[in-house]
Each structure stands twice: as C-alpha cells, then as structure tokens.
Chain A
Amino acid sequence: MERIPILKMGRFLLVTIQVDMHDRLALQLQDDLTERIVKDGARGVLIDISSLEIVDSFIGRVLGNIAAMSRVLDAETVVTGMQPAVAITLVELGLSLPGVRTALNVERGMELLQASLEREELATLEHDADPQG
C-alpha cells in the first residue's frame, strides 16, 4: 500500500509530502505518525508541505488532527514551507489552521522544535533542583 515515508531525526519525526495526496493517504499518514510518535518516543513532528500545490479543507483538517494528536502525546508539530498562493487560498476558504504551528522553511521549523524542547527540559531541570518552587 502507498504510504508517505516518515524519517526519524534525533527526537523528531520528519515528513515531506511530495505527492498529490488522496484522502485515504492523508488519513494513513495521520495514523502512521501517531503510532510512530509513541513507538519512537518522539518529541516533535515536522511536516514540510513546500511541494503541496493546494491544501483543501480535508488536508487542513488532517494537519490540525496531527497537531492535536501529537500534543496529547507530548510532541509538538510544526508545518513548514507553505506556498504563498496556498496560504492565500486557505484563508479565503475559511481555514486558518488553528492549533497548528507553522514555520517558513524546514530549517526554521527545526529551530522551533529544538527551542521548544530545550525550554521544556530547562523547566524540568529547574523544577527538579527546586521542587518547592
């Protein structure tokens, strides 16, 4: 069966969507990612959509679901590389991808995930050093 590959990079999972996805393929990606977050103990998910020529309400919903599910599983999701024409269309369609973090490109997306992981680890350290505080 056709599948979108998921790469592991340290504590993050990386997906680049390079095909025009039919709906079932998008749902499959949603399931696969959720499983991999748990299996790999991933702390972040980066989805690059720079090759996607459109994001319609279905794909928008899947991206929102992935972000929500990964949040529940203690991982952060960032969607990167949205083309300007796609962004314009998405907003006119009535979708603003609530709850989905975005970054301009993969590099910035990785920085965002890294920074948020470090912030969290620092908070844990501080809490361990001073459990009363």
Chain B
Amino acid sequence: MQIRKDESRPLRSEEDVVYARQAVRSWAVEMAFSLVDQTKLVTAASELARNTIVYGGGGVLRLEQVEDGARRGLRLFFEDQGPGIADVERAMQDGYTSGGGLGLGLGGARRLVNEFHIESAPGQGTRITVVKWK
C-alpha cells in the first residue's frame, strides 16, 4: 500500500473535534467520495476524535491518502497515550460506555468504515486505524 499524502493534527480540545471533522471532510471531498461516504467518514472521525480526547486524554489524528493497486482510500489513525482499554471486545459492543455517552462510539464508527483496527492495553494508550475505500 502506498501513501500519497499525509497530515497530522493534534486532538486536545473539543474544538479540535470540530477541526478534525473539517479536515476529514475536505480530504474526502478532494478524493471525490460520494456525499453519503463523506458523511459516514466524518461521523466516524467525530466519534473517534471525541474518544481520543475524552477517554485518552488527548492525542493525534493522522490522515493518509492511500493507494492499493487500483483502489484509493482514506486512512485515519487516532492515537493517544491514555489509560488504554482493558477489554477491547467489550468496548466495541453497542451500549458499552465508561463515560456518560451512549456507548455507540467504537461499534458505531466501525460500521461506518470498511476497515477498523484497534490496538490497546491498560497503560499502553489506544491506537485506532480506520480505512474507507472508494
């Protein structure tokens, strides 16, 4: 897989969630994703960026335009050095929440993208990678 373009942005405050949404939107528009796919990507990014800030204590969003043979995609990494997640499987289930949310963040975001990968362990932070292919 080749990376055509990349960019990193800090995720520290609530305003950064808005900036993350805007950045993902502009990349998705540039790559000519359909409006529905743009909306899914931006919504997934919003959920994951919020998690990074609220549960991970802040971190970084990295955007990558990737190419795999003939197909192109947008890959997003959300990385924090926070407390990590002890039971990743459980955290992925709808309705599971450690905060005051609806518990749709992780599982919901997974349904909105084509690839979803999560690495996390207690004390090790959390790293989530998602890809939406065109």
Contact = CB atoms under 8 A, between A and B. Distances in A.
Interface in A53-68: 53-58, 60-61
B14 A89 contact: no
B111 interface: yes
B21 A20 contact: yes
Given A93-B111, A93-B112, A53 B102 contact: no
Contact of A56 (B15, B43, B111): B43
A58 B50 contact: yes
B39 to A, nearest CB: 4
A85 B18 contact: no
Contacts of A23: 14, 17, 50
A53 B42 CA distance: 9
A133 to B, nearest CB: 43
A22 B104 contact: no
A58 B38 CA distance: 19
Q: Interface majority SS on B: helix, strand, loop or mixed?
A: helix
Interface residues of B, number: 27
Interface size of A as a range? 20 to 34
Q: Interface majority SS on A: helix, strand, loop or mixed?
A: helix
A34 B18 CA distance: 25
A92 B94 CA distance: 12
B111 A54 contact: no
17 contacts: A22-B15, A22-B17, A23-B14, A24-B14, A54-B43, A54-B46, A57-B101, A57-B104, A58-B50, A61-B101, A83-B39, A89-B39, A93-B43, A93-B111, A94-B94, A94-B108, A95-B108
Given A94-B94, A94-B107, 13 more contacts: A20-B22, A22-B14, A24-B14, A53-B42, A54-B21, A54-B42, A55-B43, A57-B101, A57-B104, A92-B111, A93-B111, A95-B104, A95-B108
Interface of B: 14-15, 17-18, 21-22, 25, 35-36, 38-40, 42-43, 46-47, 50, 94, 101-102, 104-105, 107-109, 111-112
Interface of A: 20-24, 53-58, 60-61, 83-86, 88-90, 92-95
Return the 10 tightest CB-CB contacts between A and B, nearest first: A93-B108, A85-B39, A22-B14, A56-B46, A57-B104, A85-B36, A89-B39, A54-B43, A85-B35, A94-B104
